[in-house]
């Protein structure tokens, strides 16, 4: 057993040495109170030691004066004092705690607790009349036990009341933790101890040793520590900077104000990693229940991630919470953990068919930033209304083809002929040849297994028989003596009819691939082909034949009504279906 001083005459037995400043003649012991059989702390001031001074007796008397009346669980109680042959001793309550300057480390939540309890101790000191200024708040003078109870010790430099320190006074405190006003013997206020508190917390957060704290202070006494704590919450950085401001007026006015301004967010906030930046779901059928998921990971394990989901308000989703959330649900809606899978459920039975819905999911967390926005895109199933998507290119191609063939046939059969009887005879030949050519094209198409096109071409040939008979009856007298003219028109008619018939059949087959009804397909092809032939005949006669002009007008009206019928009908059916949807949510 070590050779300790014998304090048994004073009622104490030394157990061990807790700390010593032998140059200054101060030693702290752990002792046992022999009367009460409990542990106490004895701080001995050895004035007879070399380097010590009896002038320090004034500071001991001041510490006793301060401690005697303090009753706070965060301040070890003053118990006794006695004078020895070589000094003076103060006896205080023993706390099984270690100073913050020891090698023990704390997680972010523990640091928050330490900061809070230290501020509460300072609030107690500053609420006294007059207030007490500790003047030496540093890691060595803050003790923390295993249950995170915090104790402020060493009131040897404490000052009762504020005011200016005399110019001749000795500066008391620890470099690096003294505010500039204390360092330069200026007026001290309740904000003075906040500087030491801020520097103490910065030491803990940056893992800086108290002796090295000066390396964080620049020439203007500003503390630079953000580079050592890149993940420190922005709000905590600002709060610590305000605690440790070198200018007194830039600090919090007192501990109560600093405690009130302490950030509620974590010191080291969680870092949220989302598995997706946006979400998209698509329905294949009406009233389908859709779902997708979001993986949420917190990469800062020191603190648990907490989150709450919310669907951002939208003008179409209703006014009440029940209305807004009756088609989007998120499970779990609230969570705690560092690895969470959240499922987003979408009920499309409340939505309109064939629509695109864009909404935003809001994830509120204790991370920074506190809110994350995730766009959600919902595409509902197609309208249950049949629509025909037809391309007009085959019809336009057929139209141009008939114009070309008819123009070529007319140019080769009746170039420059003006005699009415000859024109009539040649026209009869052309029509008869065209009928035969159309039927020949029908047989050609049938051989190529294009049944629909073959039938339509035969129908065109049959339909042409009627105007042919009418024209033949009109020119019957001139036909008896113009058989050569009839035969001269027959050959070009055969060629033209065959070519036009092939175009009609192939166009019909192409249009049928767009799922057009057969009757509609036949009408469109025959009307466009007849209109094309009529336009060529009209231009050839300078539109001086009234029946040709009338035919062209009627054909245009019929074809136009056919072309706009399908989209108008579709629009009507869509409108009818929308009325059936009633009060469903709009995009």
Q: What is the pLDDT of residues 292-324, one digit of tens each?
A: 999 999 987 777 888 999 988 888 876 655 555
Confidence of residue 168 (pLDDT cuts 50, 70, 90): very low
Q: Residue 442 class from Cβ within 10 Å (0-12 exposed, 13-18 middle, 19+ buried)?
A: buried
- pLDDT value of position 162: 56
- Distance CA(196)–CA(178), nearest Å, equals 6
Residue 330: pLDDT over 80? yes
- pLDDT value of position 437: 81
Residue 51: pLDDT over 70? no
Residues near 415 by Cβ (< 8 Å), separated by ≥ 6? none
What SS3 state is found at 21? strand
Residue 169: pLDDT over 50? no
pLDDT, mean of residues 503-510:
85
- pLDDT value of position 510: 85
% pLDDT > 70, the chain: 86
- Distance CA(505)–CA(274), nearest Å, equals 59
Within 13 Å and on the Cβ side, how many CA atoms surround 436? 13
Are the beta carbons of 181 and 157 closer than 8 angstroms?
no
The count of other CB atoms within 10 Å of the CB of residue 563 is 16
- Distance CA(525)–CA(182), nearest Å, equals 102
CATH of 1-94 among 3.30.70.270, 3.30.200.20, 1.20.1250.20, 3.40.50.10680: 3.30.200.20
Confidence of residue 448 (pLDDT cuts 50, 70, 90): confident
Q: Which residue has the higher pLDDT, 53 or 178?
A: 178
- pLDDT value of position 2: 58
Are the beta carbons of 308 and 334 closer than 8 angstroms?
yes
Tens digits of per-residue pLDDT, 533-581? Answer: 878 877 776 777 677 788 788 888 888 887 787 777 777 887 777 788 8
Is the domain spanning 272-379 CATH 2.60.40.10? The answer is yes
Residue 481: pLDDT over 60? no
Residue 254: pLDDT over 90? yes
- pLDDT value of position 48: 60
Confidence of residue 163 (pLDDT cuts 50, 70, 90): very low
Tens digits of per-residue pLDDT, 76-126? Answer: 999 999 988 778 899 999 999 999 988 778 888 889 999 999 999 999 999
Confidence of residue 75 (pLDDT cuts 50, 70, 90): very high
Query: Looking at the chain, how many residues does it have?
Result: 587
- Distance CA(430)–CA(436), nearest Å, equals 10
The CATH homologous superfamily of the domain defined by 99-268: Transferase(Phosphotransferase) domain 1 (1.10.510.10)
**DSSP assignment of 110-159:** HHHHHHHHHHHHHHHHHTSSS-EE-S--SGGGEEE-TT--EEE---TT-E
Q: Which residue has the tokens 């949807």?
A: 581
Enclosing H/E stretch for 235: helix 234-243
CA angle at residue 130 from 124 to 133, to 5 degrees? 60
Reading phi first (left if > 0) and then psi (alpha if -120 to 50, else beta), residue 138 is in beta
Residue 188: pLDDT over 60? yes
- Distance CA(281)–CA(37), nearest Å, equals 74
Q: Which residue has the higher pLDDT, 160 or 161?
A: 160
pTM, rounded to two decimals? 0.56
- Give the chain's mean pLDDT: 83
Domain boundaries, the chain: 1-94, 99-268, 272-379, 393-572
Rg (the chain; Cα; Å): 51
């Amino acid at each position: 057993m070590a050779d300790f001083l014998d304090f048994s005459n004073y009622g104490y037995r030394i157990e061990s040495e807790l700390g010593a400043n032998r140059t200054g003649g101060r030693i702290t012991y752990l002792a046992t109170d022999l009367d009460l059989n409990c542990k106490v702390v004895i701080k001995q001031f050895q004035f007879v030691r070399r380097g010590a001074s009896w002038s320090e007796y004034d500071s001991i008397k001041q510490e006793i004066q301060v401690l005697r009346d303090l009753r706070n669980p965060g301040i070890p109680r003053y118990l006794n004092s006695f004078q020895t042959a070589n000094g003076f001793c103060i006896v205080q309550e023993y706390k099984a705690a270690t100073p913050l300057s020891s090698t023990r480390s704390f997680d972010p939540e523990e640091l928050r607790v330490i900061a809070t309890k230290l501020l509460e101790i300072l609030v107690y000191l500053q609420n006294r009349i007059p207030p007490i200024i500790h003047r030496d708040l540093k890691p060595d003078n803050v003790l923390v036990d295993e249950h995170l109870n915090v104790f402020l010790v060493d009131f040897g430099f404490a000052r009762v009341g504020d005011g200016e320190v005399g110019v001749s006074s000795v500066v008391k405190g620890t470099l690096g933790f003294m505010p500039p006003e204390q360092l330069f013997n200026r007026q001290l206020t309740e904000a003075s101890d906040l500087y030491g508190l801020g520097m103490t917390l910065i030491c803990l957060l940056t893992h800086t040793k108290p002796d090295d704290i000066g390396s964080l202070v620049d020439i203007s006494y500003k503390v630079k520590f953000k580079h050592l704590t890149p993940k420190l919450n922005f709000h905590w950085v600002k709060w610590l900077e305000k605690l440790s401001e070198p200018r007194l007026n830039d600090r919090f006015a007192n501990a109560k104000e600093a405690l009130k301004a302490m950030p509620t967010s974590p010191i080291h906030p969680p870092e949220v990693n989302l598995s997706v930046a946006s979400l998209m779901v698509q329905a294949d059928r009406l009233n389908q229940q859709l779902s997708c998921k979001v993986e949420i990971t917190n990469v800062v394990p020191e603190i648990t991630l907490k989150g709450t989901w919310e669907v951002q308000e939208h003008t179409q989703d209703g006014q009440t919470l029940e209305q807004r959330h009756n088609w989007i649900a998120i499970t779990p809606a609230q969570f705690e953990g560092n690895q969470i899978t959240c499922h987003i459920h979408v009920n499309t039975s409340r939505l309109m068919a064939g629509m695109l819905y864009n909404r935003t999911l809001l994830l509120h967390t204790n991370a920074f930033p506190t809110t994350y926005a995730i766009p959600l895109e919902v595409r509902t199933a197609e309208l249950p209304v049949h629509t025909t998507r037809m391309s007009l290119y085959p019809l336009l191609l057929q139209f141009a083809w008939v114009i070309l063939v008819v123009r070529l046939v007319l140019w080769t059969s009746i170039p420059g002929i003006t005699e009415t009887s000859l024109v009539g005879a040649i026209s009869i030949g052309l029509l008869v040849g065209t009928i035969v050519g159309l039927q020949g094209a029908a047989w050609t198409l049938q051989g190529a297994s294009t049944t629909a096109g073959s039938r339509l071409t035969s129908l065109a040939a049959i339909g042409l028989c009627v105007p042919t008979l009418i024209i033949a009856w009109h020119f019957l007298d001139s036909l008896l003596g113009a058989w050569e003219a009839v035969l001269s028109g027959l050959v070009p008619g055969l060629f033209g009819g065959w070519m036009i018939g092939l175009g009609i059949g192939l166009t019909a087959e192409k249009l049928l691939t767009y799922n057009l009804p057969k009757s509609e397909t036949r009408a469109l092809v025959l009307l466009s082909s007849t209109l094309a032939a009529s336009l060529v005949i009209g231009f050839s006669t300078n539109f001086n034949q009234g029946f040709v002009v009338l035919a062209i007008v009627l054909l245009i009206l019929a074809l136009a009504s056919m072309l706009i019928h399908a989209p108008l009908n579709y629009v009507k059916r869509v409108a009818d279906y929308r009325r059936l949807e009633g009060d469903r949510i709009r995009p």
